[in-house]
Amino acid sequence: MHPSHPGENRDDLIAYVDGEADPATAEEIRGNPAWAAEAVDYATLQGQLQQRLYRFDCPSSMTLGDYELGLLAPEERTQVAAHATECPRCMTELRTLRVFLADEPDAPPLGIGARVRSVVATLLPAPLSPVVRLRGNDDDGTRTYRAGDVTIALDTGAALVGGRGTIAGLLWRDSGDADTLAGSVVTLRAGNDVIQRTALDDLGNFTFDDLAPATYVVELVLGDVRIRIENVRFGS
C-alpha cells in the first residue's frame, strides 16, 4: 500500500482490519495516524454490528438436528434448507452432525472452504435426451440437463400471459430415489441476483411462476453438491 495520501487503496484498510494485510502494508497503516484511525473506525463499526448480529438468523442446533433427522414439518424443512444453502456455518454444522451420527469418531469436521461442491449441468443434445416432454408436444421448449447421476428437464416454452410466464422443472436420479431430495432448495437467478426460491416436491417437481423474459440460471443444492444450469433463456 503506497498511496500518496489517505483514501487511496482504502481496500487495504479492510484487509488490515481483518488481519489479512501483508506485513509491509500493515506496518505502513500502523505508522500513518490517519490510516490507523480510519482502520479503528472500520473495526469498531464492524465489531459493534457483529456482537449484535452474530448468527441471529441461524436455526437453533436442535432445529438443525430435527432437519437432519427428517422430523420437521415440510414448510419448516424448506425454510431450513433454504437457509443452510446460503449459510456456510450451518452447512458446516450439518456436515459435522452427519459425520457424528454416522459413528465415525475419527472423521474431522470440514471447514468453510470445503462445504459444497459446484457442478455445471450439461445440456443434452435433443436426439440423445430422454423422452421427457413436460407438456407433451414434440418441441415444447423442454431442455434436458445432466449432472452426475441427476437429470433435470426444464420447460421454458410455456406461452406468456401478460408478458410473464412459468419455468417448470423435473429432476430424477438414476437410483430412482428423488423423493429423498424433497425439500431441496432450487434457486432462480438473473446474473447474481436471486429472483425466486422454491423447493423440490416429493416427485422431483419445481416451478417458478410470474417470470419476465430473460436469461436465467437455475441452481439446485442436493446434499453437498450445488448444480448450476446456466444460460436458461426464457420468453425469447
Partner 1 sequence: MEQMSLSLAELIARCREETGRFLRHEPTTDGFCYEIVRRAIHDADQPAWDAVFAQYHGIVVAWVRQHPAWPGTNEDADYWTNRVFERFWAAVTPERFAAFPTIAAILRYLKMCTHSVLLDDARARSHARLQPLSEQIAERAAMPDTAAHTMSAMGRAALWEAIRAELQGEAERQVAHLCLVLDLKPREVQATRPDLFPTVGDVYRVKRNVLDRLKRSAAIQDFRE
195 binds partner 1 (CB under 8 A): no
The only residue of 3, 22, 27, 48 in contact with partner 1, by rule CB under 8 A? 48
68 scored as a contact of partner 1 (CB under 8 A): yes
DSSP category for residue 161: B
In degrees, to the nearest 5, what angle opens at C-alpha 185 toward C-alphas 84 and 145?
130
Give backbone dihedrals phi and psi of 203, rounded to 5 degrees, phi first.
Answer: -105, 0
Scanning the structure block, which residue is given the C-alpha cell 456436515?
95
Find the shortest distance in angstroms from Cβ 80 to partner 1.
14
Binding mask 2-41 for partner 1 (x = CB under 8 A): --------xxxxxx--xxx--------------------x
Nearer to partner 1, 63 or 205 (CB): 63
DSSP of 162-211: TTBEEEEEEEEETTS-GGGGTT-EEEEEETTEEEEEEE--TTSEEEEEEE
Burial class (CB within 10 angstroms; exposed 0-12, middle 13-18, buried 19+) of 228: middle
| Bridge partners (DSSP) listed for residue 233 | 215
- Contact between 54 and partner 1 by CB under 8 A: the answer reads yes
* Among the listed residues 34, 101, 160, 212, the single contact to partner 1 using CB under 8 A: 101
Which of 80, 79, 82 lies closest to 188 in space, CA to CA? 82
Residue 194 interacts with partner 1 (CB under 8 A): yes or no: yes
Q: Which is nearer to partner 1, 76 or 133 (CB)?
A: 76
Size of the site for partner 1 (CB under 8 A): 51
* Shortest distance in whole angstroms from residue 12 CB to partner 1: 7
Segment lying near partner 1 (by CB under 8 A), choices 81-89, 130-138, 155-163, 199-207: 81-89
* CB-CB contact of 160 with 213 (8 Å): yes
| Distance in angstroms (rounded) separating the CA atoms of residues 220 and 227 | 5
When the beta carbons of 46 and 137 are compared against partner 1, the nearer one is: 46
Query: Is residue 214 within the footprint of partner 1 (CB under 8 A)?
Result: no
Spatial CA neighbour of 3 closest among 11, 220, 113, 38: 11
**Of 11 and 139, which has the nearer Cβ to partner 1?**
11
Q: Which residues bind partner 1 (CB under 8 A)?
A: 10-15, 18-20, 41-42, 45-57, 60-62, 64-65, 68-69, 71, 86-89, 93, 96-97, 100-101, 105, 108-109, 112-113, 115, 118, 192-194
